[in-house]
Amino acid sequence: MNSPITVKIKRLAHAQGLSLPVRMTAQSAGMDLAAAVEKPTVLQPGEIRLIPCGFAMAIPAGYEAQVRPRSGLASKFGITLINSPGTIDSDYRGEVQVPLVNHGANAFTVERGSRIAQMLILPVPPVEVIEVDELDETARGAGGFGHTGH
């Protein structure tokens, strides 16, 4: 196993009493994010709301945070992220917020402290983009979007 990286977290004033990002089990890939809403917030079917998480962070250069839906909220209530996964860049220092969308048939209430998403910290390799006149050939070629018949 690799050595852990350090992610500095700054709790914001409106997040007092809430948990910071935390893994719920030792083997969890993601850390749960809690809603730092001041009062219960209702998402009507089809509605999108940006939900604050009450912290800012400093991710080391060469890494990103990916914010993903929680499977229980998605499968039980139709609550997911409108952009999934969402990326938080290592140079962002603002509050982490989650763009929730209600794809369910019923209104859904986000309570203060509700676990609304999960966050993974992942490496981002350096990439060099090189323009070329031709690309190498593959068996697939330019086939896409159902090219295999499935």
Q: Domains in the chain, please, with CATH?
A: 8-123 (2.70.40.10)
pLDDT value of residue 150:
63
Q: What is the pLDDT of residues 18-65, one digit of tens each?
A: 999 999 999 999 999 999 999 999 999 999 999 999 999 999 999 999
pTM attached to this predicted model: 0.88
The chain-wide mean pLDDT, for the chain, equals 94
Burial of 30 (C-beta count, 10 Å sphere; 0-12/13-18/19+): middle
pLDDT value of residue 141:
84
pLDDT value of residue 1:
63
Residue 148 pLDDT exceeds 80: no
Query: Which letter does DSSP use for residue 63 in this model?
Result: E
